[in-house]
């Protein structure tokens, strides 16, 4: 085996691992979306129906002056779950309902449902389990 063959073999192996990791990430993102959606209380169904799973190409984890509805913890008040795909992308579960923070953390007389806080450790374990299977 010459150096070029070896380099090509290594490159193919790395690409296979990257592909498997991306698949694990996507499946875990769907798993997390399902957990958070199922844990969201239903009165009108609006909050539960508003969960989205997207790839954030900017990977912006800052909280703008208006409360962010993304599940990327840039502020301890904002519920977040984000999975880095690479340096420039993150898989993000978000909700555009204006009262999602109140449902997550509680407020006034409302009890916190902690949909994201409850799901996050389960999502982390699932992602680790899937990544450990990569060969």
What sign results for the dihedral spanned by CA atoms 35, 52, 83, 64? negative
Return the DSSP state at 55. E
Mean pLDDT of the chain: 78
pLDDT confidence of residue 38: 95
Residue whose token pair is 């990977």: 59
The whole-model pTM stands at 0.73
pLDDT in tens, 95-124: 878 888 889 888 888 888 999 889 888 988
CB environment 92-104: b (16+ within 10 A), e (fewer): bbbbebeebbebb
Could you count the other beta carbons within 10 Å of the beta carbon of residue 56? 18
| Sign of the alpha-carbon dihedral angle for 45, 46, 47, 48 | positive
What number is the average pLDDT over the span 124-134?
Answer: 90
Return the pLDDT at 100. 87
């Amino acid at each position: 085996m010459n150096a070029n063959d070896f380099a090509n073999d290594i490159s193919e192996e790395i690409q296979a691992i990257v592909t498997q990791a991306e698949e694990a990430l996507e499946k875990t993102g769907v798993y997390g979306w399902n957990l958070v959606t199922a844990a969201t209380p239903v009165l009108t169904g609006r909050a539960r129906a508003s969960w989205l799973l997207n790839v954030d190409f900017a990977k912006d984890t800052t909280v703008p002056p208006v409360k962010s509805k993304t599940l990327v913890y840039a502020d301890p008040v904002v519920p977040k779950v984000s999975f880095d795909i690479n340096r420039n992308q993150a898989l993000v579960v978000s909700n555009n309902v204006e009262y999602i923070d109140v449902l997550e953390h509680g407020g006034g007389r409302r009890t916190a449902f902690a949909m994201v806080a409850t799901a996050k450790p389960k999502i982390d374990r699932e992602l680790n389990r899937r990544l450990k299977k990569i060969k």
